[in-house]
Structure 1
Amino acid sequence: MSVTEATEIKTTCAYCGVGCGIVAEKPPIDAEVIVVSGDPLHPANLGRLCSKGSALGETVHHENRLLYPMVNGNRVTWDAALTDVVSRLQSTIEQYGPQSVALYGSGQLLTEDYYVANKLMKGFVGSANIDTNSRLCMASTVAGHKRAFGTDTVPGCYEDLELADCLVLVGSNMAWCHPVLYQRIRAVKQSRGDRMKVVIIDPRRTDTCDIADLFLPIQPGTDSVLFNGLLIWLLEQEKVDHSYIIQHTSGFDRTLELARVTSPTVQVVSKKCGLEPEVVEIFYRWFAENDRSVTAWSQGVNQSSAGTDKVNAIINCHLATGRIGKPGSTPFSLTGQPNAMGGREVGGLANQLAAHLEFNRPDDVERVARFWQAPNMVGKPGLTAVEMFDAVSRGDIRFIWIMGTNPVVSMPDADRVKEALTLCPTVVVSDCIRNTDTADVADILLPAAGWSEKDGTVTNSERRISRQRRLRAPVGESRYDWSIMAEVGRRLGYGEAFSFQSPVEVFREHAALSAFENHPTMRPRDFDIGGLMHITGEGYDGLVPIQWPIPDTTSVGQARLFEDGHFFTETGKANFVPVSELAPVNMPDDNYPLILNTGRVRDHWHTMTRTALAPRLSQHRDEPFVELHPDDAASREITDQSLVVVSSQYGQVVVRARVTTHQQSGHVFVPMHWSGQFSRSGRVGSVVNPVVDPFSHQPDNKYTPVELRRFVAERYGVLLSRSPIALPETEYAVSVKSAACYRYELATAHDRESGFSAFLPELLSASKVEYDDVANGVKRCLYLQDGEVVAILFESQSYESLIDRAGLESAFIDDQDMALPQWQLLSGQPGKGAGCQGRQVCACFGVGENAIVSTIQQEKLDSVESVGDVLDAGTNCGSCIPEIRQLLASVNG
């Protein structure tokens, strides 16, 4: 049965690098929701989906879609838009040279999109200034792999995480960021018990610690010291594999020499890392005693000014013990985005060529130029992400094309990025979303097809290529990214090179380049999918998930690399890399004494352009927040749930306080997701320093000196509206989409007599019913149109006096049995069943904290499983299991 005839279509999730398979019911043409489930046959997830993946079908409606091309805010035809793009591009190159042109892409582009973009820029425009938001998540791993292995190769696979007897997770809140993998590990851990040791190394006690046998709350930036110490300890305990080191590696002695300087003893390591010596020694002993050891890491390692060294410090320990590319025994990088790996394969980073070919090898540059028949082939790397936007700020880059990403929110020093783009002569944005912080400063907007509308491939963290299949036609006038760029290539005069008419044609060329002059007599390359270079359209439609390398048509893929001890360096041996102790570039001082760490929350993704469309994904963490230790809160007179100003020398945000002992004293955490579309003051990128790693040029999003102070509000408000409104221009304003309405949390430092109504022009035409509750200090107002409640505004000088938000939402439910009379709304009393669930814990089934606590008490439940049996909570993706366990402990003591 062909894809077009199928009633169910298999595709791949659009979120993290796990690369979960999805089965989607083929939707009607105008479907606002698509029914999705996990693909039980996909080897990445085996049928499981996390909360985000489960809700993916709820995010495909047309709200805020960019439906047609726009130039300078006006709708135009595609022909007019592309004519303008090409004219501006050619004019910029003629006046300022190709280095004045840049393209900034995304790990959410498909491999075919990435390939055409890279070919267009590096081979035909003549600029290597093409980088991607993958620079913000995986660049340090890429650099570390290249230094150690000679190429950017992930040695292992997901199965290794389950086979390991000692699993070490470094800088990874896997329970929230890679939930399906986490649940696979949890299941194995439960079945094996003490026979599997799990070590968590992280400055924060996250939900991932729920499966930990040992937790090391390390001081930020000291990972290299810890793993240098492990290397020395392994040598002293005679646990290194000298035979392997001699036969398959180089540089061991020099690496040991430097490790002895930074980490001579467990005591020194413990002091530098802020850990107890006994805890460090337990970790070292477990790693040494278990031949099957996997060390997995994510952004806590990569997003650092010493990220590449951290990666190599980890790899050094695996090389010293010969534990690489073997079942249950390997270093393993957890990729952040759905196709960050695919982007690396096609040269999507500024310092890469396509197909894992390299700028530092002149033969490789010439090889790609010959294959592409490229007239303007670049010969050296271009500007990386931070450098690129610095160049835009200086005026050196005068034309920038941004595809599928939101750098005005996600880049460090984001205010400067916004200012630079505002001043840039030409900003082109390709996106499926109309209103983003970046689209708002664009000159030209090009509507791109989104997930559910695109055909192509993605590659996950274990080198597994999976198909992303189209579920329906692109909405409006949106087009595929690869086809937009191919049309630009043709209009530039390169018709033959960009004659692609379908994604399979792009994929075939990509596969052919990977095999081009790639054989043992010419120093073979790791990335080889030549076995797919002649794939037919039917074969492409039916392609099953497969791990590269795939060198010939008989290949079924390869789960692991390097088990034979052969690497892709000049000598064929792996390189030990000496790692020194690098202090952070920006250190705390009297003005900014705290260290800011940024990262993800459980149910949101990047800048929320997709996840905010699904109401249930906004209920677990509904406002931007700062986590801080009680000591830091007390010294600044900050209380839980109060508003806080987080400031650095670059900018500031106003967010909600979450006081918790899970955060170390002296350190704070703010999530990365809230953009100007959803929060007036929560765009944390404006606070983050633009410091980068010297080798990978990846920004250090985990270490910015900051200070905190209370935001003193004169008035607080909560507004619920049946329809969305523009985010009110108050000092604090956050929008939250619920199932029944839109909620706006408001605060201002100015106690205007008119209150918040002055910021709500959309409601001026509505009639009002007001009640001033003097006793409780709350003013309540209903906005009515034709007798129907269209909005509710409560405001007070006290945040605590405002009603439970969930209690008001039933006013917008169409069910008459749940509807509240107007007097009850004005009284501030919740209606029947309204708000009984409390704060959401389980996003998959919409189960709240109050419901879980009361059920535990009433049913006398004593396990996560028993809670799941009664409420279903925790029985789908399992991301909420740590919180359910915490609630059990609080109720049962």
Structure 2
Amino acid sequence: MNAHPGPVAPPAIRTTCPYCGVGCGVLARPDGLGGLAVEGDPDHPANCGRLCSKGSALGETVGLEGRLLHPMVEGRRASWDDALGRVAGDLSRIVAEHGPDAVAFYLSGQLLTEDYYVANKLMKGFVGSGNVDTNSRLCMSSSVAGHRRAFGADIVPGCYADLDEADLIVLVGSNAAWCHPILFRRMLDNRARRGAKIVVVDPRRSASADEADLFLPVAAGQDTALFCGLLVHLAESGALDADFLGGRTEGFGEALARAREIAPDPASVARATGIAEADLAAFYDLFRTREKVVTCYSQGVNQSAQGTDKVGAIVNCHLATGRIGRPGMGPLSLTGQPNAMGGREVGGLANMLAAHMNYLPAEIDRVGRFWDAPRMARREGLKAVALFDAIDRGEVRALWVMATNPAVSLPDADRVRASLAKLDLLVVSENVASNDTTSRGAHVLLPAAAWGEKDGTVTNSERRISRQRAVLPLPGEAKPDWWIVSAVAARMGFASAFPYRKAADIFREHAALTAFENGGERVLDLGGLADLGDRGYDDLAPVQWPVGADGEGTARLFAERPFQTPDGRARFVAPALPRLATETSEAYPFVLNTGRIRDQWHTMTRSGRSPRLGSHRPAPFVELHPADAARLGLGDGDLARVSTAMGSCVLETRLAEGQPPGTLFSPIHWSGETSSDGRIGALVHDHVDPFSGQPEMKASPAAITPEPMPLRGFLLSRLPIGLPDGTWWARAAIEGGTGTLFAARGSIGRIAAWAPALVPGAEIADYLDAGAGVYRLAAFVEGRLEAVFFAGPAAARPHWEAARALFAAEAEGRGARQALSGRNAGPDPGPLVCACFGVGLATICDAIRTKGATSTEAIGAALRAGTNCGSCLPELRRILASEAATPANERLSDSLVVR
């Protein structure tokens, strides 16, 4: 008799990762329990099967805990009809009473292109205002403005394959090892295979700099000086491409004259940038002599009050040498979000119309005729920072926020929070029930589809359109964003213009608009996809625009094709003299730089659900140089107050030799939902680039002072538990619940008095050692371990890894009491190093000491650490170096600054 066959695994669904702009392909399989099994798609050209730590953990982020599943009006559950009617009615009333510019949409690179298209169409074509902007303004708009000035349109000339063929890769303001790790692995593979050189330009020594052949620690704000010096060097060393300059460009003379004013000689560049002359000479020589050069730039360039000029200075060097649009050559902007480019294609920025058209009479008319729009916007709308200024002044009365969290992410975030309370109507389309923005008095909450439930397209950093396919059913009453906007439009009287029944309907319209009256003068052209049937849309393979009539994409642009300027020539731009928007002072002597970390994303509403990702950096922190810390009396892991003229935060300190003296670095991810005092956006000045409107988020004058709290500890609980006012805390997902690190003032006896009340109705087992200043508690509900609490002296901060392992295993009471008594609850893996495979510091050190794993390859063979995305490889090298340099009798794994 034949045995019964086992259960057949469901087929994998090809979709696209929702994190950075690399746009990695993902194979996702429902596990039948509401979760997903996720792996990289080997057939997707962006990643060829690789995923980073965040992509690998996507399956941990799709649960329904904390989801917004029903419409809410004024804090109460409502029907879709009531919620949509409220939004449409209030928008119509405010437009009638105050004009179309009294309403605005604030969108996100997390939206799909189809969502973006419908929102932009409603506001700019039917409400009649340009007030549609996006959080891409905070990360990409300086690149957009730089490309438009140089190329005539928002166009990335090259592709990822150039990283495989380049002889020199220059990373400017980009910690790609952490923020774009899949692309960084391609760069390292190229170096191993072809001998490519990697140069990193950054004020701080990042994980990318650790891997570089040459690191240039540029002073804050001086990227323009560095690249003006390069342009002068190229001109004086005979490295210009005279044919390309004469036949394809305009304005070189003015740009070179300005470059000579800014950077007349290497000594002046060295003084301005803080880079040693020998290192400058090495970089300039590499750029001149290596034929194939790709310069990648990201937030370190863009997030500046002179970001557009920095982009221009980089592009000028590529134009001057004709290194653009050919294999292995060109400037390459690394996008921060999965669909920042797709949003720009459909007019998601306030200063652009759909299909890369502009606020010019002929183009306003063209879009209006295509849409049959009754009230086309006639002028640019308000960019993000200016938009929230207008809300604060009462000029914008209604705001619809979709898929973003501006109360955390915008500069001067406390003022943004306050301004939201002034609105007559605040609508938030979200998939989480609570974040810092929804909690600021939102009148209407609309439950939107999350990644895994969405169906549509995104465009990555190389102009590649990929399908994001639904893998899970829509939960509760959640709906796609395009459906929500279309339903509001219908109730405002525009139903005939928004007849969409599926995402494919919208994509075809978008593609047709790009081809409408396009005689080849607009590079963005998806005409070859405008007649795509539903089956063709469902099966659409990744393709780069422009797309010809044969449906084939285009990898590179401008080697031969004219630029999108009136005469087809690229434009050199003479930059302004480099400067910081605000200088340091006696009150604020440090320069505060902000950015991302390896295993978290934006404000953590998705990545914060993953226990794996939360283990690497579980609390908000500030990096500073050890010499600065010693002068201020700060040790590693202490608490410090970081202040600017805008506000202050309390953060853990991390001492880092790679952080230049006089500077600070802090990540952007923590919010009021995940920390008591870690919202770094509240510290950032709101100065913006005059061309792009992008805020300066890399150089806010700041002060740092100790914030001593005598007690430190942790709380592990099945559900989030609030701590008393005055307690500093940071919250992270852990296996089996929530982990909270905390610090407190007062005595251990005072903590012992209030801690038992944290879990009402629980059976409490606790222990107080007043002499040692230690208190431990376990709470049980019906015999199940519900919470573990530990507090002790700040000077001997407890590590929580072993207790977390106990908690995850839902140990019985005996095991919990063993932990309370101080006995080891099991092997302590140490602070997480490799998030892809959950490998901790202690485990790695043990493999080095007892198994002879004395290289990253050997560690990978023994533990798998570093073998997936590779973003932990720099950390593994630091651990190896530390172990080799430390005598065996002095090794202390926990002393490494890698936690």
TM-score (norm 2): 0.96
Contact 2:163 2:190 in 1 (8 A): no
Alpha-carbon offset, residue 832 of structure 1: 2.5
Match of 2:401 in 1: 402
- Structure 1 residue 608 corresponds to structure 2 residue 604: yes
CA distance in 2, matches of 1:481, 1:129: 18
Contact 1:10 1:469 in 2 (8 A): yes
Alpha-carbon offset, residue 91 of structure 1: 1.2
Alpha-carbon offset, residue 743 of structure 1: 1.6
CA distance in 1, matches of 2:783, 2:112: 49
- Structure 1 residue 724 corresponds to structure 2 residue 720: yes
- Structure 1 residue 690 corresponds to structure 2 residue 692: no
- Structure 1 residue 821 corresponds to structure 2 residue 820: no
Q: In the superposition, relative to structure 1, how do residues 350 and 310 fare at CA in structure 2: closer, same or farther (>3 Å)?
A: same
Match of 2:139 in 1: 137
- Structure 1 residue 255 corresponds to structure 2 residue 255: yes
Contact 1:32 1:58 in 2 (8 A): no
CA distance in 1, matches of 2:569, 2:355: 21
Match of 2:796 among 794, 797, 801: 801
CA distance in 2, matches of 1:800, 1:714: 8
Alpha-carbon offset, residue 638 of structure 1: 0.8
Match of 2:833 in 1: 841
Match of 1:587 in 2: 583
Q: In the superposition, relative to structure 1, how do residues 565 and 252 fare at CA in structure 2: closer, same or farther (>3 Å)?
A: farther
Contact 1:248 1:565 in 2 (8 A): no
Match of 1:223 in 2: 223
CA distance in 2, matches of 1:450, 1:690: 30
Match of 1:289 in 2: 289
CA distance in 2, matches of 1:717, 1:742: 14
CA distance in 1, matches of 2:725, 2:454: 37
Alpha-carbon offset, residue 768 of structure 1: 2.4
- Structure 1 residue 857 corresponds to structure 2 residue 857: no
CA-to-aligned-CA distance 1:619-645 (integer Å, 9 cap, x gap)? 111111000001111111111000010
- Structure 1 residue 707 corresponds to structure 2 residue 706: no
CA distance in 2, matches of 1:590, 1:800: 31
CA distance in 1, matches of 2:352, 2:682: 29
Match of 1:189 in 2: 191
Contact 1:110 1:342 in 2 (8 A): yes
- Structure 1 residue 53 corresponds to structure 2 residue 55: yes
CA-to-aligned-CA distance 1:465-496 (integer Å, 9 cap, x gap)? 00000112211100000011011111111111
CA distance in 2, matches of 1:327, 1:342: 24
CA distance in 2, matches of 1:16, 1:760: 43
CA-to-aligned-CA distance 1:650-678 (integer Å, 9 cap, x gap)? 11111100011010001100000011111
Match of 1:881 in 2: 873
CA RMSD of aligned residues (A): 1.5
Aligned-pair identity (%): 48
Match of 2:165 among 139, 163, 166: 163
Match of 2:860 in 1: 868
- Equivalent position SS for 1:285: helix
Alpha-carbon offset, residue 751 of structure 1: 4.6
Deviates more, 1:873-882 or 1:801-810: 801-810
Deviates more, 1:733-742 or 1:569-578: 733-742
Alpha-carbon offset, residue 723 of structure 1: 2.6
Match of 1:8 among 12, 25, 33: 12
CA distance in 1, matches of 2:743, 2:778: 19
CA distance in 2, matches of 1:241, 1:702: 34
Q: In the superposition, relative to structure 1, how do residues 722 and 679 fare at CA in structure 2: closer, same or farther (>3 Å)?
A: same
- Equivalent position SS for 1:737: strand
Q: In the superposition, relative to structure 1, how do residues 846 and 752 fare at CA in structure 2: closer, same or farther (>3 Å)?
A: closer
CA-to-aligned-CA distance 1:24-65 (integer Å, 9 cap, x gap)? 11453xx33201110000000000000000111111110110
Match of 2:533 in 1: 536
CA distance in 1, matches of 2:407, 2:814: 42
Q: How does 1:173-572 map to 2 (within 5 A)?
A: 173-192=175-194, 195-359=195-359, 361-441=360-440, 442-520=442-520, 524-552=521-549, 554-564=550-560, 566-572=562-568
CA distance in 2, matches of 1:879, 1:766: 42
Match of 2:26 among 7, 22, 25: 22
Alpha-carbon offset, residue 617 of structure 1: 0.4
Match of 1:811 among 784, 806, 810: 806
Letter in 1 for 2:59: G
CA-to-aligned-CA distance 1:734-785 (integer Å, 9 cap, x gap)? 1122113322111234558532764785513223233222342212222233
CA distance in 1, matches of 2:34, 2:473: 13
Deviates more, 1:705-714 or 1:449-458: 705-714
Match of 1:643 in 2: 639
Contact 1:302 1:311 in 2 (8 A): yes
Deviates more, 1:727-736 or 1:664-673: 727-736
CA distance in 1, matches of 2:710, 2:529: 65
- Structure 1 residue 767 corresponds to structure 2 residue 763: yes
CA-to-aligned-CA distance 1:687-732 (integer Å, 9 cap, x gap)? 0111111110001110100000011214333212133223653341
Match of 2:122 in 1: 120
CA distance in 1, matches of 2:214, 2:96: 60
Letter in 2 for 1:238: G
Letter in 1 for 2:475: V
Q: In the superposition, relative to structure 1, how do residues 575 and 331 fare at CA in structure 2: closer, same or farther (>3 Å)?
A: same
CA distance in 2, matches of 1:770, 1:650: 43
Contact 1:293 1:328 in 2 (8 A): yes
For structure 1, the 5+ residue unaligned runs are none
For structure 2, the 5+ residue unaligned runs are 1-8, 886-899
- Equivalent position SS for 1:322: coil
Deviates more, 1:787-796 or 1:212-221: 787-796
Alpha-carbon offset, residue 788 of structure 1: 3.6
Match of 2:82 in 1: 80
- Equivalent position SS for 1:439: coil
Q: In the superposition, relative to structure 1, how do residues 498 and 565 fare at CA in structure 2: closer, same or farther (>3 Å)?
A: closer
Letter in 1 for 2:445: L
Contact 2:641 2:648 in 1 (8 A): yes
Alpha-carbon offset, residue 234 of structure 1: 0.4
Letter in 2 for 1:392: I
Alpha-carbon offset, residue 815 of structure 1: 6.3
- Structure 1 residue 779 corresponds to structure 2 residue 775: yes
Q: In the superposition, relative to structure 1, how do residues 475 and 604 fare at CA in structure 2: closer, same or farther (>3 Å)?
A: same
Contact 1:813 1:819 in 2 (8 A): no
Match of 1:791 in 2: 787
CA distance in 2, matches of 1:562, 1:744: 53
Q: In the superposition, relative to structure 1, how do residues 483 and 630 fare at CA in structure 2: closer, same or farther (>3 Å)?
A: same
CA-to-aligned-CA distance 1:74-119 (integer Å, 9 cap, x gap)? 0000000011101111111111111000000000100000000000
Alpha-carbon offset, residue 876 of structure 1: 1.3
Alpha-carbon offset, residue 858 of structure 1: 1.0
Contact 2:397 2:424 in 1 (8 A): yes
CA distance in 2, matches of 1:312, 1:588: 26
Alpha-carbon offset, residue 237 of structure 1: 0.3
CA distance in 1, matches of 2:178, 2:724: 31
CA distance in 2, matches of 1:60, 1:760: 33
Q: In the superposition, relative to structure 1, how do residues 788 and 56 fare at CA in structure 2: closer, same or farther (>3 Å)?
A: closer
Alpha-carbon offset, residue 73 of structure 1: 0.7
CA distance in 1, matches of 2:573, 2:211: 32
- Equivalent position SS for 1:495: helix
